[in-house]
Structure 1
Amino acid sequence: MSESLLARLDPTKRVLKRAQYEAFEFSLFDGDVLVRNASHAEPENHEYNVQYNVRMIDGVPTSCGCPADQRYTGPCKHRIAVAIRRSILDAVEQMQMVADGGAVTDEQPETGVEDDATPDDCDCDVLDDYFPCWACVDSGRRELPE
């Protein structure tokens, strides 16, 4: 495997932290991911389309419809939120495969987490020691700092 997805996106620490702790909800539409930020009082006013389909370059979400992605260099928190959630990426890839005429098996993907084991999609090595990756938080292996 080449460099990690996070290394290719190269988000700022602030964006990475927000992508991990904000309450995002995800919906798949035509190979893209609609990201809604449920942390806001009016989440329906904070949802953006992250392009994933044919606009992907080496598996990296290349754009988002939010103002921050248009205004600043580097990826926005919505693109990073999609990129750090392997289950979302897997679902989009599976949906694209079916749309392209591929077959889907009934097998469930392995989570990669056994008891206190490090999840397969752990990205803690690219974060500072203080802040865990979402995979470790989601699996219960590590907790978010107060």
Structure 2
Amino acid sequence: MTRTPLEELDPSNRILKRAQYEAFVFSLLDGDVLVRNESHANPSEHEYRVTVVDGIPTHCECPADTMYDGPCKHRVAIAIRPCILDVAMQMGLVADGGVVTHRSYFRSDRIDETKAHQCDCEDVDNDFPCWECFRTCQKELPE
């Protein structure tokens, strides 16, 4: 059985809660993710690059990631957001010149076909999803 990224990181309850409630903004960087914490008065001073390897946020530039045992809140914030992690993995493959050859298990675990919403992107000829379909992990970006 494959372990989820959150199971791999095994964060403390304190870190998990902070990763859930703080106002993080994510930007993709060649397979890595830039995490900005908008909860602070000066968010630009709380912006860190998180390295993603094989679907696991493995390293963060923040001081807490090296100073303390266990993962920092930035790594956990990515691990609990499968859409962000999935896109980071796909972007990493593109940046490395690779080809996406499989569907990530993160999306298939999250899609609930009975709750799928009706939207305008279903009638569009191209494969590009609308924001709501992508945000809710119902459709992936085209390869």
- Compute the TM-score of the two structures, normalised by the length of structure 2: 0.68
CA distance in 1, matches of 2:64, 2:37: 14
Unaligned runs of at least 5 residues, structure 1: 116-137, 140-146
**Structure 2 partner of 1:65:** 61
Residues 1:96 and 2:95 aligned together: no
Give CA-to-partner distance per residue, 1:88-125, whole Å, 9 cap, x none: 11111221232324269xxxx7862454xxxxxxxxxx
Alignment map for 1:1-146 (pairs within 5 Å): 1-52=1-52, 56=53, 58-99=54-95, 100-102=97-99, 112-113=111-112, 114-115=114-115
Counterpart AA for 2:56:
V
Counterpart AA for 2:46:
H
Compare 39-48 and 87-96 and name the one that shifted more.
Answer: 87-96
Counterpart AA for 1:81:
A
Unaligned runs of at least 5 residues, structure 2: 102-106, 116-134, 137-143
SS in 2 for 1:3: coil
Question: Is the Cα contact below 8 Å between 2:33 and 2:51 reproduced in 1?
Answer: yes
Q: How many residues are treated as equivalent by the alignment? A: 110
**Structure 1 partner of 2:119:** none
Give CA-to-partner distance per residue, 1:115-137, whole Å, 9 cap, x none: 4xxxxxxxxxxxxxxxxxxxxxx
Question: Is the Cα contact below 8 Å between 2:31 and 2:93 reproduced in 1?
Answer: no
CA distance in 2, matches of 1:102, 1:2: 22
SS in 2 for 1:69: helix
Counterpart AA for 2:15:
V
Identity of aligned residues (%): 57
Structure with larger Rg: 2
CA distance in 2, matches of 1:59, 1:103: 13
Question: Is the Cα contact below 8 Å between 2:25 and 2:36 reproduced in 1?
Answer: yes
CA distance in 2, matches of 1:92, 1:5: 13
Give CA-to-partner distance per residue, 1:28-72, whole Å, 9 cap, x none: 1121100000001100000001011xxx2x522111010110100
